[in-house]
Every structure is written in structure tokens, then in C-alpha cells.
Amino acid sequence: MSSDGTCAIDIAIGSLGRADADIVSWGEIRVSAQRIVDDCVEGTERRNPGLGGVIRYLGQQKRLFVVVRSYEPTVQCHDREFNGQHCLVTLSQMHVSGNPMNWRREGTTPVGRINIFVPKAYSDPTNSCFATIKLSSGDVEQGSYTEMWEGANAVYWMCIRYQHDGVSFGHGRNGRLQVHLGRQEWIPSISGVDIQR
């Protein structure tokens, strides 16, 4: 994620061959992302500079892609000081999966096979930084863990780095999911919630 939260680097697996995974070095990923930034994002010679791009066929089996894309976060940073030195650990605790899931308000009846009940909280082992996923309205929303993780990362890069907590809004099919990154006491609705560390 870029420092302003508007550019993301993704690694994706393609459909060539039969393997479900591939191996690539971080150096190869870094060089590929930098090539995309140099050629597609900052390049003035291109027809559409600033749009991002893709480098395909990385890895031993040529199944990985590096994608640099725009990201449009809706983030609000709060005007209260917060030392978020442990927040990167919290982000590493969060699940990441692109599969759509039903996010349901705690206490509602499960529907279908995959139900995630909110509020859902993650923390570093010292309980210094919490990532909390909540519904802003309604009882159910569809969205992926990856979308929540991206929102938390946007809050980190746009707020936490500048010593403030914050919240990312508008996640899910209908935009009703939000993720807050900050102190537990600033999120009153998570008391009694099972916190994943």
C-alpha cells in the first residue's frame, strides 16, 4: 500500500498448469512492482500513465502475477494521539481470503455455510492495537476477509503512521462493513468479543 493509501501491490496466482501454488523471491516481486511503477504509474511516455499494470508469469511454474492497482479508500483519521507501533503485528493476525462471506451481526441466525459474526476483533499479543470489523447498519453484509485487511492497511498507512487511530468505511457488497484500527477502549462495542491474537 502506498503512503497515501491510494495504490496497492497485489500478488495473484494464475491458471496455467495444475499447481495450486508457486515459488518466487521477494526480490523478484519487488523488481516487478518497481517496473510497473516506473513504466505504468509514473511513466509519461505511456498512453495512459498512472493507471497501474500487471507483470505475468513469475515464479518457478510461471503461475504468479504482480499487480499494481489504484485503491480508493474511504478512511477517517481521528484527532487523538495513538502510538501504533504494534499495529503491523495486528495486521499480520488478520485473515486474508478473497472468498465472499456472510458477515452477520452477533446474535443473528446463521444462513448458508460461511457466516462470520461481528464485531470481530484482532490484536497484537500485548493488546496495544486492535483491528475491529463491524457493521455500520443492518444485520448482514457480504464481503471478503481481504477487503477488511485492505481497509485496515489503508488506516495504518493513512492514520497510524501519523500517530492517529482511524476507521475505513464502505466495505462489502452494500458498503455496510467498516474496520477500525486503534485502542480497544475507543471501540466500546467489542467488550466480551473473542479477540484473535
End-to-end, the C-alpha distance of the chain in Å comes to: 23
Above 70 in pLDDT, residue 29?
Answer: yes
pLDDT of residue 32: 85
What's the pLDDT tens digit per position in 129-160? 999 999 999 999 999 998 999 899 999 988 99
Of the candidate ranges 44-48, 69-73, 119-123, 142-146, the one whose mean pLDDT is the lowest: 44-48
Q: Which residues of 100-132 are buried (b: 16+ CB within 10 A; e: fewer)?
A: ebbbbeeeeeeeeeeebebbbbbbbeeebbbbb
The single residue listed with the C-alpha cell 458498503 is: 175
For residues 117 and 196, give the distance between their C-alpha atoms in angstroms, rounded to a whole number: 13
Q: What average pLDDT does this structure show over 4-26?
A: 72
Cell of 140: 448482514
Residue of 110, 104, 120 lying closest to 172 (CA atoms): 104
- The answer, as to whether pTM is greater than 0.95, is no
Residue appearing with cell numbers 510461471: 62
* Band (180; pLDDT cuts 50, 70, 90): very high
Q: How far apart are CA 25 and CA 173, in angstroms?
A: 34
- What are the extents of the domains in the chain? 7-70, 75-196
Q: Return the closest-CA partner of residue 138 out of 116, 94, 93, 108.
A: 108
Q: What percent of the chain has pLDDT over 90?
A: 31
- pLDDT at site 143: 92
3-state secondary structure 73-133: CCEEEEEEECCCCCHHHHHHHCCCCCCCEEEEECCCCCCCCCEEEECEEEECCCCCCEEEE
Helix (H) or strand (E) holding 32: helix 26-36
Query: pLDDT digits over 83-111, tens only?
Result: 899 999 999 999 888 888 899 998 888 87
Helix (H/G/I), strand (E/B), else coil: 154: helix
